[in-house]
Structure 1
Amino acid sequence: MMDWTISIAILVGGLIFSMGIGLPVALGFFMINVVGVYLFMGGPNGIDQMISNATTAVANYSLAPVPLFLVMGSLFFHSGLARRVLDGIDVLIGRLPARLSYLTLTSGTVFAALSGSSLANTGMLGSLMVPEMTKRGYKKHMSIGPILGSGGLAVIIPPSTLAVLFGSLARIDIGGLLVAGLLPGLILAILYAILIYVQARLDPEAAPSYECEILPAAQRIKIFCRDILPMVAIIFAVVGSILAGFATPTESGALGIVAVVILALLFKALDMRAVTTAIADTARVTGMTFLLITASSTFAQLLAFSGASSGLVRWATSLEMGPTETLLIMALILLVLGMFMDQVSMMLITLPLFVPLANSLGFDMIWWGLIMLLMLEVSFTTPPFGLLLFVMHGVSPPGTTLPEVAKAALPYIACVFVLIGLVIIFPSLATFIPSLM
């Protein structure tokens, strides 16, 4: 058997090279898999094994929440429920300095708990809020930054489709990983609010104040009870059912869809256009994701079969580095990869190597998984290829450049790093709520 360093160089290096020359990620995985099968698994017989792995990888019950959460989030946005929540929060928020930045942050945090999709959150908030903030004279870092920050919250606040994928691929309890992000997600939203406050105090002209109508208290209570409070039913259906222990993540996804449909019917907001759009969006994203998972399952087996995974674990554990240093190196690898590829591809490449290493170091896997998810959140906004940067650039005012969008994201990335430090120092931030399940 060849040395593990040569094996890992062929497999991982070949995969990164295929992406570098512009091959689609799935095609790059399949190409390297065929090469690896002939090198490590006996040629044609290995091809049969690769085909068998493909069906086994996606016929996995733990992946069922992915399309369910996607349908729920898409129905929530396309039915108009999201706009109703946004308008309700707008009425309640009052005359705060930088009120539109706070409105964006509050709405984004609520949407993260109701949709599970960072891209959808960013796209909707960007298209709705940026024109209004630009008209009011907000500088770009005060309009674009909060959207990028709050958009990324959907990575860790349940229901997160990325957390479901991560838990399934890493063999971590998905229910525990989903609810582990609840408390850190709220802390991150508070850090973002503090950041907005500081930015507004340092440069009041960045978020000019303006007169807005303040409704009587009775009318605001009525709007809260009518437009916002009912949405708690969706959060309870998904998060509450998992915490209470009477629903699995898959069942909670189904309950979430039922809650969205009932609310949309009550508000007379459900039509066939919303339903067909939600199903089409879900089919497209799920098909792409499952194709990547199909390709990566053989890739993970090749890493194990060739000795690359075990060799890397032996090498890493032989170094005079503590668990924290090793964890930081994993985080740094994700940070670098996030500059060049999407989150699913990053998980598929790194988890076959990271998971055995994390287990060998004795990490609490829910705690470790949450830190990795936070790094994936950072990678959404790291230039030059952060996906949220492109989404935000697409809905920004004409003349906005990608470097301007990336610059607006930097303080919010710093807040995520602060949270990662807090989670490392105080692991109970991640493990407390799962321990109650």
Structure 2
Amino acid sequence: MIDWLTGDWTGALALLIGTIVVLMGVGMPVALAFLAANVLGAWVFMGGERGVTAMLNNGVGALTTFALVPIPLFLLMGEIFFHTGLGNRMFNGIDRLLGRVPGRLSYVTVLGGTGFSTLSGSSMGSTALLGSLMVPEMEARGYKRHMSIGPILGTGGLAIIIPPSALAVLLATLARIDVGALLIAGVVPGLILAGLYVATIWIQTKRDPHAAPAYDVDPMGWGARLGLLVRDVVPMVGVMVVIVALMIAGVVTPSEAAAFGALGVLILAAAFRCLTWEACKRSVAGALRVTLMAYLIVFGSATFSQLLAFSGASRGLIDWATGFDLAPLAMLGVMFAVLLLLGMFMEQISIMLLTVPIFFPLAATLGFDPVWFALIMLLALEISFTTPPFGLLLFVMKGVAPPGTTMREIYLAAMPFIGCSLVLVGLLVAFPWLALR
């Protein structure tokens, strides 16, 4: 048995993946399941206790990289943005500025929800928040289900690629690619996807005006509109725009941009007199909780990648996959399909932990640019979360949707926005320069 495990790459892969699947199946947290599999793999493939010690040292070394600094700072930005009420100010400001625009709450959900989701780094948390906050409001205004649920499910796809995206920083760190390059690569595709979402909502309101009926709002003069824009919208959006612009211009690194962003949100909260001690405690606790999980993921991924390489599983799997003589785009389609399938059962960070050590070496063999492939992977991860019948966000939405909402309604609401993301993937495949400038 031991000879088979150590003498053939299939045995090594079966041991590592099998251990993870079994431990996850019995309810162990993903990060701990990977850590346990890594300890077992190091014992078998790297020489017992000495191998485990070497594995732990290598994992600790992976946590000391400077590229991880943006993660807690971007998460802190999002937590402060939420707990101080700055997010609600932005939502309400955009809502009042749009006036009697048909479907305006759907637009508000896309624009405001993307800002929050981008900073929070958690699609599931953002979906739960927006679902409980916006859907009842739209239901009360007479919106049909697809106009209230669809945009919320769509915001995750936008948030995951528009900087500052904590998930993009984590993927870049795991894949050992330039963090700033990946963040900047998401700007133009993110704007294209936002345009596709807006066009989708506009078409839906044109086809069925009763899907999002207009309702009376207090009239506002141009002076009042300008004041509202400057006071409640521009400062919040401005923080994100400024840190992205500074990164694109090369003035700051991603770590410095994250620090300036967190400082900027703190200053805004103080200026609006909503920076309370309780909000600070909740923000730090929320950011710390997610950061610790992310660091456990990085630790597990670093050691998992080394074990795959040391045991020969990485090389064997790549040789096996390329042995089918598929065209690079066909192989990309296979990897994309695998990500969609995994997204029906696993959380995004868990999928990255499992697939990055395998997919990125394979992508390099196929000649794909690593930044471009990382962007495709981010989109695949988000699409998988909303893919019927088992996408996890669909069930999160079911949990917070109004009573009587059926899964069929949620599926139908998600489909147009999934289509928008697939159109963007097609555009990136056809025109890679959209992400590589």
TM-score, L = length of structure 2: 0.93
Answer yes or no: is 1:173 the counterpart of 2:200: no
Q: 1:229 to 1:148 in 2, by over 3 A?
A: same
Shift of 1:381: 2.1
Pairing partner for 2:340 from 335, 339, 355: 335
Q: CA–CA distance in 1 between the matches of 2:227 and 2:356?
A: 48
Please identify, of 155-164 and 49-58, the stretch whose mean Cα deviation from structure 2 is larger. Answer: 49-58
Paired residue type of 1:246: V
Partner of 1:435: none
- Matched position secondary structure for 2:217: coil
Pairing partner for 1:20 from 1, 7, 25: 25
TM-score, L = length of structure 1: 0.93
Q: 1:344 to 1:116 in 2, by over 3 A?
A: closer
Partner of 2:105: 100
Shift of 1:244: 1.7
Answer yes or no: is 1:290 the counterpart of 2:307: no
Please identify, of 237-246 and 279-288, the stretch whose mean Cα deviation from structure 2 is larger. Answer: 237-246
Partner of 2:47: 42
Pairing partner for 1:240 from 241, 245, 248: 245
Shift of 1:144: 0.9
Native 8 Å contact 1:101 1:143 kept in 2: yes
Shift of 1:257: 0.7
Native 8 Å contact 1:102 1:196 kept in 2: yes
Shift of 1:404: 3.7
Partner of 2:35: 30
Partner of 1:422: 427
Please identify, of 267-276 and 4-13, the stretch whose mean Cα deviation from structure 2 is larger. Answer: 4-13
Q: CA–CA distance in 2 between the matches of 1:62 and 1:319?
A: 36
Partner of 2:351: 346
Partner of 1:277: 282
Please identify, of 3-12 and 69-78, the stretch whose mean Cα deviation from structure 2 is larger. Answer: 3-12
Q: 1:292 to 1:85 in 2, by over 3 A?
A: same
Shift of 1:251: 0.9
- Matched position secondary structure for 1:431: coil
- Matched position secondary structure for 2:435: helix
Q: CA–CA distance in 2 between the matches of 1:189 and 1:36?
A: 44
Q: 1:383 to 1:287 in 2, by over 3 A?
A: farther
The within-5 A match list for 1:136-155 is: 136-155=141-160
The within-5 A match list for 1:74-113 is: 74-112=79-117
Native 8 Å contact 1:115 1:154 kept in 2: no
Q: How many residues align structurally?
A: 432
Answer yes or no: is 1:324 the counterpart of 2:329: yes
Answer yes or no: is 1:195 the counterpart of 2:197: no
Shift of 1:385: 5.7
Q: CA–CA distance in 2 between the matches of 1:238 and 1:277?
A: 24
Root-mean-square deviation (Å): 1.9
Native 8 Å contact 2:170 2:294 kept in 1: no
- Matched position secondary structure for 1:156: coil
Runs (5+) with no aligned partner, structure 1: 433-437
Percentage of identical aligned residues: 54
Shift of 1:225: 1.4
Q: CA–CA distance in 2 between the matches of 1:424 and 1:281?
A: 37
Answer yes or no: is 1:382 the counterpart of 2:395: no
Q: CA–CA distance in 1 between the matches of 2:155 and 2:88?
A: 16
Paired residue type of 1:426: F
Pairing partner for 2:136 from 116, 131, 149: 131
Q: CA–CA distance in 2 between the matches of 1:220 and 1:376?
A: 38
Native 8 Å contact 1:340 1:384 kept in 2: no
Answer yes or no: is 1:61 the counterpart of 2:66: yes
Q: CA–CA distance in 2 between the matches of 1:337 and 1:226?
A: 43
